[in-house]
């Protein structure tokens, strides 16, 4: 993706003018990250937040030697361990790239400087966080109230792009089921 395509993509997402984007982009560092790169290990304090231009990033926990996928970040999403980034405490989860990724990174210091120079960014970030809160609340509620099949159907309806981009065992842990259970659910849905 060219720099102009990146800017156009961000412009559509934010509604910022070219001049405003010029201010914002001064604080972000573009990076190309290879597939299967650990961006943050559990136990380390997050020092950056990422904006995904292209690719897929997974947030996951490790318990009893097993990975449990908690969230997947794709194009036009902010990714990171927000709790660690804000609290300055070690993260309880890890973050890795599932695909080659083109991202923009911003440090805590740069984000604070950006908020000062461009106060409109505070409103944009608040909106992003509100959307993320609603999304995570729906995910949390679904884990409590929905059956595994309902959770899978929700994933198909709300984030269908993930189905072919993410290994099935990671989708299974995200849904709170085993890969065998996921296979059975997929077969039942295909037969309907």
* pLDDT tens digits for range 19-74: 888 888 889 999 999 999 999 999 999 999 999 999 999 999 999 999 999 999 99
Residue 5 pLDDT exceeds 70:
no
> Is residue 2 pLDDT above 60, yes or no?
no
pTM for this structure?
0.88
Mean pLDDT of the chain, nearest integer: 90
CA distances from 83 to 5, 80, 88, 178 (A): 31, 9, 8, 28
Average pLDDT estimate for 70-83: 92
pLDDT of residue 166 exceeding 50: yes
pLDDT at residue 94 tops 70: yes
Least confident of 25-39, 86-100, 118-132, 134-148: 118-132
């Amino acid at each position: 993706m060219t720099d102009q395509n990146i800017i156009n993509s961000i412009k559509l997402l934010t509604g910022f003018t070219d001049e405003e984007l010029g201010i914002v982009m001064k604080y972000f560092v573009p990076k190309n990250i290879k597939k299967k790169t650990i961006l943050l290990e559990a136990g380390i304090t997050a020092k950056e937040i990422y904006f995904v231009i292209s690719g897929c990033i997974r947030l996951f926990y490790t318990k009893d030697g097993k990975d449990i996928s908690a969230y997947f970040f794709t194009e036009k999403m902010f990714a990171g361990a927000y709790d660690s980034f804000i609290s300055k405490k070690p993260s309880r989860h890890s973050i890795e790239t599932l695909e080659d990724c083109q991202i923009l990174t911003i440090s805590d210091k740069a984000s604070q400087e950006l908020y000062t120079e461009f106060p409109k960014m505070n409103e944009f970030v608040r909106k992003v966080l509100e959307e993320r809160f609603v999304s995570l609340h729906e995910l949390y509620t679904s884990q409590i109230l929905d059956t595994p099949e309902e959770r899978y159907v929700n994933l198909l309806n709300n984030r269908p792009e993930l189905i072919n981009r993410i290994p099935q065992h990671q989708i299974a842990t995200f849904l709170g089921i085993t890969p065998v259970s996921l296979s059975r659910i997929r077969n039942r849905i295909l037969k309907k």
